[in-house]
Structure 1
Amino acid sequence: MRGSHWLVNPAGGINERAKVSASLAKNSRIPAPASIVRRPYLFIDAQHGLGNRMRALASAACIADATERQLVVIWRRDHHCQADMVDVFDYAGPVVADDSDDVMRDSAAKVYNYMEIEPGAQFQEPVLPDSQRFASQHIYIRSAYTLNSPYYSWEHEDRFLHGLRPSQPVLDLLNQVPFPSDVSAHIRMATGDGFDHLSWEAPENWPAIRHEELKLWRAQSHVSAFITRLDALVAEGACDSLFVACDLPETYVTLQERYGDRLRNLPRDLYDRSCAQAQYALADMMLLARSKRFLASSGSSFSDVARRLAPRGCQFEQSGVDF
């Protein structure tokens, strides 16, 4: 069962089993079990920012459940996300937060790597296409993306995402903003010229063609496009309250000047990838999902996950597609 407090006894040699079990016990804050559940592991090495990590994690959880593997989350701080998983989620399952991932990778019968800029990576390689191959063996996946697998299930991923519990600091932020709102908007603009100096926005994070796609999507998500749509909703009487989450401080200023008391947001002076900002980000994501209508940014994993957290009945519109 996902979130179990039992550690799995890995297949393989005695020394290898000892290394993996010792590393998991050290990292996961999980007491030694009275008995051992013999299931193989599925290691998910979640990459990039919060939305990307959540998307990859949900996908891996789906595959782990379908193939009767114990999900082990490898969540390490880096320049994309400087928060540990415990900083943003109250998560009960095994989590590895240090550099012992090599032990997990070496124990795996099959390694999948979706990170295109890395040597040997194969983006969108099918995960476990043959149900018999690698049965009862460990699998290691490194990804910032939804996984391609015959075990993929949108509904199962949604259940996992909805089951993630925010940490107490995130809950405290949620309580600062009234909800639901008539409309919510995620405005993601900060990629491309003027932002390449930021390590998490640098072109080196993606193949050139992927970076060009991101720049196109960000252009389609310019605040001016959102304002045109929001003005129409205000004129229709469909936007008496508006929650916004933006990646630039000047965007908040523009919207505040235009919409005044209608506007809701979580005030901050952080626009980085720090631990505190990650907590704001998850709170933003959850508040975006708590509206009657959600205006999303094209090509944003953050918008994608926020949409999936929304209840049924929430109207969804996407920049560059619907407005």
Structure 2
Amino acid sequence: MRHTRNLSCPSLPSVDMSSPHKNDFERAVREATYAKLNAGGSARGSGGGWSGRRGGGGSGGGSGWSTVGFGPLRRTGSGGSSYYTGGGGALSTASVLRFVARGAAGLLCVLGLLTILSDEAPGMGHGRGRTALGGLGRWGGGGGGGGSPSVHLNIPEADVRPGTSIVAACMNRHETLAKVLPEWAAVDGVDEIVLVDFSSDPPLKDTVDATGVSKVKLLRVEGEPKWVLSRAYNLGVNASSHDSVLRIDCDYSVTPDFVTAHPLPAALASLPAASRKAEADKAGYYRGNYAKARNEDEVHLNGAVFIRRADFWAVGGYDERIQTYGWDDEDLYNRLDKAGLRTLDLDYDKISHTPHGDGARAQSGVRFVGVEIDFNALLLEKLPGWVGPSGVATGAAVSHRSTYEPAEPAPPSAATLAAAAATAKAAGGAASAPAAAKAAAPTGGNYLVIKAASVPKDLRALTAAPDADAAWDLSLGRRLHDQFDIPWDLLSSAAAPMKETLLTQLMVREAELVKAAAAAAGGAARPLSEPTPKPRVLLCHVMHGLGNRLRALGSCLSFAAESGRVPLIVWEKDAHIQASYGDLFATKLAVLDTFSPKWPDMKGAAEWDGAWKSFVFHNYMEMEGGGAVKGEQVPDAEDKSIYFKGAYIIEADPKLTSWDLDNAQLRALTPVPAVAEMVSARASEGLSGMIGVHIRNKTLDKDIDGVSFDDEYGSEAAATMEKWRRAS
């Protein structure tokens, strides 16, 4: 059923328009409206869409007030019906068409009320309704009853025009956006730039306005606690109004001839259904390809896509269940490939990435870039696929794309207020409340402020907890093994928190090495032909009782620090000590509580795990044989990880380990509260005036149950210990 709609507009002479001309005219008015971008805020009610430059909220049966530049307009209705009335009398659609045929004032009236010229589109719930917001899209309202509707931004394919839309989305990135936005506007063949501001602080509007670029449609999403690429870019593509979409990040630069240098094939959906499979090679899309990257910066172009809008939606766009960093691009590419589209490589001479490193991915709160990618890929394997523009997944699970509704701009944050105050101070004045709030206030017809009405559950929430935990643990292991050459033998029994600690420390060290290499190269991007600087580890296997373990540990920590290695400690409970490292110390080191590799077999383990090739081996527990030699020199082997096993200090260059260095490392360890309390009880007496004495007078056969001193220390050493113990 179609809605009944009436209008109130200035009185104009009326002229009949024949039906054929009416269709042409409606199309012309739609196009003119898209160009004018004459809308912004919202008027709210449960029965229909959202309309207007300024509006207050409606409720109950769906009434709301809006001003579109020529007087108050009221929409009333309940459930799925709505109509518009005003103070100057009622006008039908045909009447408005007659007005527009005779004067510009009538055209302005229709531009403000595009809804009367549009076929109704299904809304959410039981209602129907469709309203254009400033050419940014159609808002399907709906829902029965008296509650507020949720709305879904969408420009139907029937209204998509030939041309190219740049679609970008970001949370913050103000500086890079200010640089690249004018470049995007200068690209030949680009008709519009759709920019999604995903809750940047402060909002991006001032940054956009300062560039003077007029092609921008800016969508501000309020209330988002973190960056979600899949949702942000689906929203942006939904708001695009041209049949070709260039999806880029806010730190990508493109050359003016980018579009002409990448002629897009026909959309797959445009090919005859009967011959689509046979003619699939006629369809295709361009994408970034990290395998074709010539340097580290070009690796980050993997997310760039130039594609027909219809093909993007034919496979469902981005999977919005992916709400953490990684695999969103590859998942989309996999679905496009399965649909039969040809993959074409972007010309990296026409697009570039502004370097900022993985550390700047803090806009998404990412700690472990590679781990997140593997994790999302593993979780998707457990879930039904994401298919079709309806957002309905196969199998038992049903997932919907996010829906949005108009929102009031959030009050300025502390950061925004501080920035406004600093600006005012620099100008010699005081920051007023209106000035401080300016960044959050919508001004102009190409700016829309919205918020999420519904969001799909993310991958972890949709996956059974044991499966998700196992996937995270495996993803951590993959990064440690594949990126940093940590053998699987070490990782198989390591808990996820330990893996996170080790990975964090390796990444910090890697960043230091990369920075040093860049400085040595004068800041130039590293060619991919050069290997990435790889941090190494000192795998320190401490043995025997607490005193022996601590002297070995202090020496290992010194050696690791001075040689630029990351310490990885093996501290197993045994007959000598039943306390774990964590029972004694709070200092966060990467510590293995169990160790499965056996000496000397581990020296040949590279046969089945190549990560062991990066290790050299030193074992001071000479009774284990297999080449173990107590006291042998341990050199700082370049580009090698070191395995050291012992109850003693490492014999090495004194610049790497010494009495002073080792003691400094031990003093830096923080004891757990229980141990600290015992120490503090004596500290008041003055530890500098004390000396620790360890007296043992038990014979070896009565000392430690389960320990063979001949086996662990050798018969000669055991005889010496026995002699002096008996003498005491």
Per-residue CA shift, 1:99-132, capped at 9, x if unaligned? 345699752521111012102211111101xx4x
Per-residue CA shift, 1:4-52, capped at 9, x if unaligned? x999999986795573567666362635649932310110000001010
Alignment partner, residue 675 of structure 2: 170
Residues 41 and 70, structure 1, Cα contact 8 Å, conserved in 2 = yes
Alignment partner, residue 83 of structure 1: 579
Alignment partner, residue 206 of structure 1: 713
User: Does residue 30 of structure 1 match 2:500?
Assistant: yes
How does 1:65-80 map onto structure 2 within 5 Å?
A: 65-80=561-576
- Cα 1:9–1:153, aligned 2, differ >3 Å: closer, same or farther? farther
Residues 188 and 218, structure 1, Cα contact 8 Å, conserved in 2 = no
Alpha-carbon RMSD = 3.7
Alignment partner, residue 641 of structure 2: 138
TM-score normalised by L of structure 2: 0.26
Secondary structure at the aligned position of 1:122 is classed as coil
Residues 575 and 705, structure 2, Cα contact 8 Å, conserved in 1 = no
- Counterpart CA distance in 1 for 2:484 and 2:559 is 27
Secondary structure at the aligned position of 2:623 is classed as coil
- Counterpart CA distance in 1 for 2:553 and 2:686 is 27
Alignment partner, residue 426 of structure 2: none
Amino acid aligned to 1:145: Y
Match of 2:544 among 42, 48, 58: 48
Residues 39 and 70, structure 1, Cα contact 8 Å, conserved in 2 = yes
Residues 585 and 670, structure 2, Cα contact 8 Å, conserved in 1 = yes
- Cα 1:139–1:193, aligned 2, differ >3 Å: closer, same or farther? closer
For residue 146 of structure 1, report the CA deviation from its aligned partner.
Answer: 1.1
- Counterpart CA distance in 2 for 1:24 and 1:197 is 29
For residue 90 of structure 1, report the CA deviation from its aligned partner.
Answer: 1.1
- Counterpart CA distance in 1 for 2:581 and 2:535 is 24
- Counterpart CA distance in 2 for 1:71 and 1:15 is 13
For residue 209 of structure 1, report the CA deviation from its aligned partner.
Answer: 1.3
- Counterpart CA distance in 2 for 1:48 and 1:208 is 17
For residue 136 of structure 1, report the CA deviation from its aligned partner.
Answer: 1.2
Alignment partner, residue 190 of structure 1: 697
Secondary structure at the aligned position of 1:72 is classed as strand
Alignment partner, residue 179 of structure 1: 685
- Cα 1:41–1:117, aligned 2, differ >3 Å: closer, same or farther? same
Residues 10 and 39, structure 1, Cα contact 8 Å, conserved in 2 = no
- Cα 1:112–1:77, aligned 2, differ >3 Å: closer, same or farther? same
Alignment partner, residue 225 of structure 1: none
- Counterpart CA distance in 2 for 1:185 and 1:27 is 35
Secondary structure at the aligned position of 1:117 is classed as helix
Alignment partner, residue 284 of structure 2: none
- Cα 1:157–1:18, aligned 2, differ >3 Å: closer, same or farther? closer
- Counterpart CA distance in 2 for 1:202 and 1:148 is 24
Amino acid aligned to 2:562: A
- Cα 1:191–1:12, aligned 2, differ >3 Å: closer, same or farther? same
- Counterpart CA distance in 2 for 1:34 and 1:175 is 31
For residue 200 of structure 1, report the CA deviation from its aligned partner.
Answer: 4.2
Residues 40 and 138, structure 1, Cα contact 8 Å, conserved in 2 = yes
Residues 52 and 144, structure 1, Cα contact 8 Å, conserved in 2 = yes
Per-residue CA shift, 1:149-168, capped at 9, x if unaligned? 11332211111111111111
Secondary structure at the aligned position of 1:110 is classed as strand
For residue 193 of structure 1, report the CA deviation from its aligned partner.
Answer: 5.3
Unaligned segments of structure 2, at least 5 residues:
1-366, 369-475, 511-533, 606-611
Per-residue CA shift, 1:234-258, capped at 9, x if unaligned? xxxxxxxxxxxxxxxxxxxxxxxxx
Residues 477 and 499, structure 2, Cα contact 8 Å, conserved in 1 = no
Match of 2:660 among 155, 169, 186: 155
Secondary structure at the aligned position of 2:645 is classed as strand
Q: Which has the higher contact order (CA 8 A, sep 6+)?
A: 1
- Counterpart CA distance in 1 for 2:704 and 2:694 is 20
Q: How many residues align?
A: 213
For residue 175 of structure 1, report the CA deviation from its aligned partner.
Answer: 4.1
- Counterpart CA distance in 2 for 1:30 and 1:10 is 10
- Cα 1:24–1:42, aligned 2, differ >3 Å: closer, same or farther? farther
Secondary structure at the aligned position of 1:157 is classed as helix
User: Does residue 124 of structure 1 match 2:620?
Assistant: no
Alignment partner, residue 321 of structure 1: none
- Cα 1:118–1:143, aligned 2, differ >3 Å: closer, same or farther? same
- Cα 1:57–1:204, aligned 2, differ >3 Å: closer, same or farther? same
- Counterpart CA distance in 1 for 2:486 and 2:658 is 31
Alignment partner, residue 621 of structure 2: 115
- Counterpart CA distance in 2 for 1:87 and 1:17 is 25
Residues 203 and 211, structure 1, Cα contact 8 Å, conserved in 2 = yes
Alignment partner, residue 64 of structure 1: 560
- Cα 1:92–1:14, aligned 2, differ >3 Å: closer, same or farther? closer
Secondary structure at the aligned position of 2:664 is classed as helix
For residue 205 of structure 1, report the CA deviation from its aligned partner.
Answer: 2.2
For residue 88 of structure 1, report the CA deviation from its aligned partner.
Answer: 0.7
